[in-house]
Structure 1
Amino acid sequence: MEIPKRYVSFATWPSEQLPAVDDLVRAGFFYTGKNTIVTCFYCNGSLQNWGSNDNPMIEHARWFPHCAYAKQLCGDDLYRKIQESKRLAQAQSIRKRKPYDVRDVLEQYSHGHINMMMRIKELQRKIEHTIGKQAPVAIEDRTKLTVLARMQRVEGTMNIMGETMENILKLLKIVDEKLDRVLPNDNRSTKSILTRMNTKFSSTQEGIL
Structure 2
Amino acid sequence: MNRPSSWMKIIDKIAEGQYVPPQNSMKYEMLRFCTLRSYPKENKPFIIRIAEAGFYYACNGDEVVCYCCGRRKSHWNVNDNPMDVHRQMNPKCSFLVRNSEVNVPIKPTGETSRDTAIKPADETNRDSPKYPEYATKTVRVDSFNTCDCTDISPASLAEAGLFYAGFSDCTRCFYCGIGMRNWSEEDDPWIEHCRWSKNCSFVKQKKGSEFVNLVQMAVQFGNEGNGKRDMVENLLHNDDAAQSVLEMGYCPRIVKHAIARILELKDQPQLTAKRLMEEIFIIEEEEEEQNSNGIIAQTQDRDDTEQLTQNTLKGR
TM-score normalised by L of structure 2: 0.32
| Bigger-Rg structure (1/2) | 1
TM-score normalized by the length of structure 1: 0.45
Q: Which has the higher helix share?
A: 1
